[in-house]
A and B are shown apart, each in its own frame.
Chain A
């Protein structure tokens, strides 16, 4: 186990290095630059700004400077929010998104797995159809329809909940974003769980267990649950990263100040250091969650070797 983690850690270093080089190259190849504005500015003024942020140096030199700073934990100054460093911006907004995402995921995992299991055990019966149809509603209504709809109903028509803001995470401000996000996730998790459990229930070892006359509950919880979770865990890994790093639509519509906005605005504004910052962050998270997923695989199915 420790050996495994150590190996993964060593592998992470070249992975991140390649990731940063590719991202850097991609960013600098894209048209436009951080201080290109519609109003434009005299060449001397632009030159002064570029000099201040080292944007006048060759790209490889900029990369080395970036890498040097990164190793010291400095993600550099933001080129869009001039008064802030990327560190100033990323961590508070990640906390917001992780709170919304964490609650959504918790709700979605519990409800989704329960619904999926119930549906699978009533495969092609009315309960299956009812549950899956309900769950599907969460998928077919895109977030950018769901969010305004929720606000229209719950904030404007009945005035139960605020229409936006964060207010340090007071629960009233959490409900709508979490709801808008979770509905989407519940449906996905429920469907994967359902499909997986149906498959598991018809496999030989479950049939053997049934033949042995084991109680139903034991069969499900002891024998079926673990193999059922295998694809669910595979699915949750990347989902986790996506959910923790937030959703632009939620951030923009509810004005929560989450990190999702930084992904999109960073790219649109060519805020190079912000883009690098969030990319490295996501890269680290992917690597970590993949490692965790692999560990869980081994726990679920001890025969799995790497």
Chain B
């Protein structure tokens, strides 16, 4: 039991060190893979996420309108003429400006998926390493590192966004920077908490005794052991990120018209939900399905990577 655990941990650590990839021929990794693919909910979810990604990339091929073009006819009465319909070519209806909601949902999917996945990834990597290092090294370093986290958490986020905008202008990459810049903080705190507890475990002490360097212990032994909770937290983070993006857009950063995102579409759709439900329903459905899927995939990954299972 104990050996297996450590080996998997090392495997994971190597994965992390060498970046992702180069999986072939590693029986334990394949073991995890097999376990993951035995989990029906997770596999199904992964498949659906794949479909949504395909939709976001190729969906525009099937659109009759571009995402920015106004259908002046539909604009004259979006509630009656902007209904979802196959004949008009507005499969998802139009938004309140008479723009094709199908094309806009496709466009919004690209942005939201990118925001959700990329910024979570950024937050996970920075947060995990920072938190593990802080908790593991401990002492003065931990103290200073955690005080820095406190300062960054309390800084008024709005001004950070405003300054980013002033310095870099409107660039989509800024969304990731802005979101990543704040969301790794909580991750760091959680990982640090786990690390504090892990670092007293026998196997860490054993590694110490064998003269393994601190950095290697962190990456090879500590990080793999907090992976479970990191994955669970990450599956909470993705929906947060996608929603957060709409808040940043509201500040004038984030996506700029005519580009859009799920969050932006949903917040517009809420206003009209009583009489033009489709304007809320389509983007919200995509969001909900995606979030559920990420959730199940996260759980599946957690189970598969947990050597203590089964």
A residues with a Cβ closer than 8 A to B are: 11, 14-15, 18-19, 22-23, 26-27, 29-31, 124, 129, 132-133, 136, 139-142, 144-145, 148-149, 152, 188, 191-192, 194-196, 198-199, 202-204, 227, 230-231, 233-235, 237-238, 241, 263-264, 266-268, 275, 278-279, 282-283, 286-287, 290, 293, 297, 300-301, 303-306
Bound complex: CA A263 to CA B266 (Å): 23
**Shortest distance in angstroms between A117's beta carbon and chain B's nearest beta carbon?**
14
Interface centre among B190, B200, B302 (most CB of A within 10 A): B190
Bound complex: CA A26 to CA B151 (Å): 13
Is B43 close to A, CB under 8 A?
Answer: no
Chain B residue contacts of A29, Cβ below 8 A: 163, 166
**Shortest distance in angstroms between A241's beta carbon and chain B's nearest beta carbon?**
8
Q: Are the C-beta atoms of B193 and A188 separated by less than 8 Å?
A: no
Residue of B nearest to A203 (CB): B308
Chain B residue contacts of A266, Cβ below 8 A: 156
Q: Are the C-beta atoms of A234 and B236 separated by less than 8 Å?
A: no
18 contacts between A and B (CB under 8 A): A15-B151, A26-B159, A30-B162, A31-B166, A140-B288, A152-B273, A194-B232, A198-B228, A227-B197, A230-B194, A231-B190, A234-B189, A235-B190, A238-B153, A267-B159, A286-B153, A290-B150, A306-B142
- By secondary structure, the A interface counts as helix
Bound complex: CA A267 to CA B114 (Å): 28
Q: Which of B150, B228, B239 contacts A283 (CB 8 A)?
A: B150
Interface centre among B193, B194, B273 (most CB of A within 10 A): B193
Within 8 A of A (CB), among B39-75: 39, 41
- By secondary structure, the B interface counts as helix
Q: Are the C-beta atoms of B156 and A279 separated by less than 8 Å?
A: yes
Residue of A nearest to B243 (CB): A142
Residue of A nearest to B252 (CB): A268
Is B119 close to A, CB under 8 A?
Answer: no
Given known A-B contacts A233-B193, A297-B193, A306-B138, A19 and B154 have beta carbons under 8 A apart: yes
Q: Which of A22, A144, A196, A263 contacts B270 (CB 8 A)?
A: A144
Bound complex: CA A237 to CA B190 (Å): 9
Is B185 close to A, CB under 8 A?
Answer: yes
Q: Are the C-beta atoms of A301 and B156 separated by less than 8 Å?
A: no
Bound complex: CA A144 to CA B247 (Å): 10
**Shortest distance in angstroms between B12's beta carbon and chain A's nearest beta carbon?**
15
Q: Are the C-beta atoms of A282 and B154 separated by less than 8 Å?
A: yes
Residue of B nearest to A192 (CB): B232
B residues with a Cβ closer than 8 A to A are: 1-2, 39, 41, 138-139, 142-143, 146-147, 150-151, 153-156, 158-160, 162-163, 166, 185-186, 189-190, 192-194, 196-197, 200, 228-229, 231-233, 235-236, 239, 243, 246, 263, 266-267, 270, 273-274, 280, 284, 287-288, 291-292, 295, 299, 302-303, 306, 308-309
Q: Are the C-beta atoms of A27 and B159 separated by less than 8 Å?
A: yes
Q: Are the C-beta atoms of B41 and A19 separated by less than 8 Å?
A: no
**Shortest distance in angstroms between A157's beta carbon and chain B's nearest beta carbon?**
11
Chain A residue contacts of B154, Cβ below 8 A: 19, 279, 282-283, 286
Interface centre among A227, A231, A290 (most CB of B within 10 A): A231
Bound complex: CA A188 to CA B234 (Å): 11
Residue of A nearest to B291 (CB): A140
Q: Which of A18, A26, A144, A235 contacts B160 (CB 8 A)?
A: A26
Q: Are the C-beta atoms of A235 and B233 separated by less than 8 Å?
A: yes
Q: Are the C-beta atoms of B287 and A140 separated by less than 8 Å?
A: yes
Chain B residue contacts of A237, Cβ below 8 A: 189
Bound complex: CA A282 to CA B138 (Å): 25
Chain A residue contacts of B228, Cβ below 8 A: 195, 198-199
Bound complex: CA A233 to CA B284 (Å): 32
Residue of B nearest to A239 (CB): B186
Interface centre among B153, B273, B280, B288 (most CB of A within 10 A): B153
Q: Are the C-beta atoms of B150 and A267 separated by less than 8 Å?
A: no
Given known A-B contacts A31-B166, A145-B284, A282-B154, A11 and B159 have beta carbons under 8 A apart: no
